[in-house]
Amino acid sequence: MLSQKARYALRALVELARAQGAQVTSGELASRADAPRKFLEAILLELARNKVVVSRRGKFGGYTLARDPAQISFAEVIRIIDGPLALAPCVSRLSFRKCDDCPDLATCSLREALLRARDATSEVLEGYSLAEAATGKGAEVFS
């Protein structure tokens, strides 16, 4: 399940994509994303550390995207904020580990379904960018 933190992050980033390179203050982003300002500032700091946004301090400061919005996928943002997309660690591509209660990966009756869910989720979220969300293009993917 997508956390509220990830929802705020995605909403704020879509607003930055809509700003088309103009700086937006954290207060304005919080208002546009309908997010608590202090919480969003912590999220933006995490996104800056991961080179998704650039922050500028001072009176004329604010946030901009670090890259073209077409190059930032929903999957990238969700992984930064919430961690792996996989429903279980044994099917994660980036954070694989054997499940604690699983005696054997090869005979696990759940793993095939979880692999398929991971692949389908990844395909959709990797293929959907901030640019598409900002313009509404590609929304048919979610209909």
For residues 138 and 66, the model is more confident at 66
Determine the average pLDDT of the residues in 18-43.
94
Closest CA to 50 of 2, 18, 92, 13: 13
For residues 31 and 1, the model is more confident at 31
The pTM of this model reads: 0.87
Residue 16 forms part of a structural domain: yes
Are residues 99 and 115 both part of a single domain? yes
Alpha-carbon distance 109 to 107, whole Å? 6
Domain total in the chain: 2
Are residues 14 and 49 both part of a single domain? yes
- How many secondary structure helices (H) and strands (E) does the chain include? 6, 2
Residue 53 forms part of a structural domain: yes
Are residues 88 and 60 both part of a single domain? no
Cβ atoms 16, 64 nearer than 8 A: yes
How many C-beta atoms surround the C-beta of residue 58 within 10 A? 6
pLDDT of residue 138: 56
- Owning domain of residue 9: 4-65
The residue among 65, 80, 112 that closes a domain is 65
The residue among 50, 65, 80 that closes a domain is 65
pLDDT of residue 105: 78
Residue 142 forms part of a structural domain: no
The residue among 47, 65, 83 that closes a domain is 65
pLDDT of residue 141: 44
Are residues 93 and 124 both part of a single domain? yes
Cβ atoms 104, 39 nearer than 8 A: no
Residue 97 forms part of a structural domain: yes
Most confident of 37-41, 86-90, 107-111: 37-41
pLDDT at 140 exceeding the cut of 60: no
Determine the average pLDDT of the residues in 13-25.
95
Across 11-15, 46-50, 101-105, least confident range: 101-105
Residue 103 forms part of a structural domain: yes
What's the angle, vertex CA 14, arms to CA 50 and CA 31, rounded to 5? 100
Determine the average pLDDT of the residues in 39-60.
93
